C-alpha cells in the first residue's frame, strides 16, 4: 500500500537534511496529483515547509548550469507555487457559501442607494466643466553660460631613434 500524503509528511519531519533533499527531489520529479497533495500537506506544517523550501533552493542550485536546468527550474517553481499558495487560494471549493451567494447576485439586485443617480452624475460633470483649470506659472531661468573649453596646448611630436644610429 503506497503511503498517503499525510503519512509522508509525518515521515519527513524526522529525516536528516540530505535525505529530505533526496525525497523532495523525487516528489518534484513526479509532478502528479499526489505530489501536489503532498505539497499541500507540507504547507500545513510551517517548520517542515521551511525545510522543504530550503531543499527546493538547494535543488535549484544543484541543477544550475546543467543541460536540464530549465526543466528542473519549471518543476521546482510549480512545487514552490503549490507550497506557497494560501489555503484560501489552494481550495476554492471550500469557500464559504455566503461568499458564493454574493458573487452570484447580479448587479441589478443591488439596492438603489449604492448606484449614483443619473441626475447627480450629469450635474457633477457640468460643474467640473465650468471650473477653470488651475494654471501653473512657468518661469524661465537660463542656465549660466560656460566658457568654451580651449584645446590643450599642442605637444610637439617626439622622434624615437633606434639605438646606435
pLDDT in tens, 17-36: 899 889 889 888 888 888 88
- Are 42 and 76 in contact by the 8 Å Cβ rule? The answer is no
pLDDT tens string 67-97: 999 999 999 998 888 888 876 554 444 444 4
Q: Name, in order, each residue with C-beta under 8 angstroms of 109's C-beta and a sequence gap of 6 or more.
A: none
Q: Kindly state whether residue 47 falls inside one of the protein's structural domains.
A: yes
pLDDT of residue 93: 44
Q: Kindly state whether residue 120 falls inside one of the protein's structural domains.
A: no
Residue 26 domain boundaries:
5-89
pLDDT of residue 95: 43
- Are 21 and 58 in contact by the 8 Å Cβ rule? The answer is yes
Range in 4-13, 28-37, 54-63 with the lowest mean pLDDT: 4-13
Q: Kindly state whether residue 165 falls inside one of the protein's structural domains.
A: no
Domain count, the chain: 1
Among 78, 77, 74, CA closest to 33: 78
Q: Kindly state whether residue 14 falls inside one of the protein's structural domains.
A: yes
Amino acid at each position: 500500500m503506497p503511503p498517503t500524503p499525510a503519512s509522508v509528511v509525518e515521515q519527513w519531519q524526522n529525516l536528516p537534511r540530505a535525505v529530505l533533499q533526496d525525497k523532495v527531489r523525487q516528489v518534484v520529479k513526479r509532478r502528479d496529483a499526489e505530489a501536489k497533495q503532498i505539497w499541500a500537506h507540507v504547507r500545513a506544517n510551517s517548520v517542515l515547509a521551511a525545510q522543504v523550501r530550503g531543499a527546493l533552493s538547494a535543488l535549484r542550485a544543484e541543477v544550475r548550469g546543467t543541460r536540464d536546468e530549465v526543466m528542473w527550474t519549471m518543476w521546482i517553481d510549480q512545487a514552490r507555487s503549490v507550497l506557497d499558495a494560501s489555503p484560501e487560494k489552494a481550495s476554492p471549493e471550500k469557500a464559504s457559501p455566503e461568499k458564493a451567494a454574493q458573487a452570484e447576485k447580479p448587479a441589478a439586485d443591488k439596492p438603489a442607494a449604492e448606484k449614483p443617480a443619473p441626475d447627480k452624475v450629469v450635474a457633477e460633470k457640468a460643474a467640473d466643466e465650468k471650473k477653470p483649470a488651475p494654471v501653473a506659472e512657468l518661469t524661465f531661468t537660463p542656465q549660466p553660460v560656460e566658457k568654451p573649453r580651449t584645446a590643450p596646448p599642442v605637444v610637439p611630436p617626439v622622434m624615437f631613434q633606434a639605438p646606435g644610429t
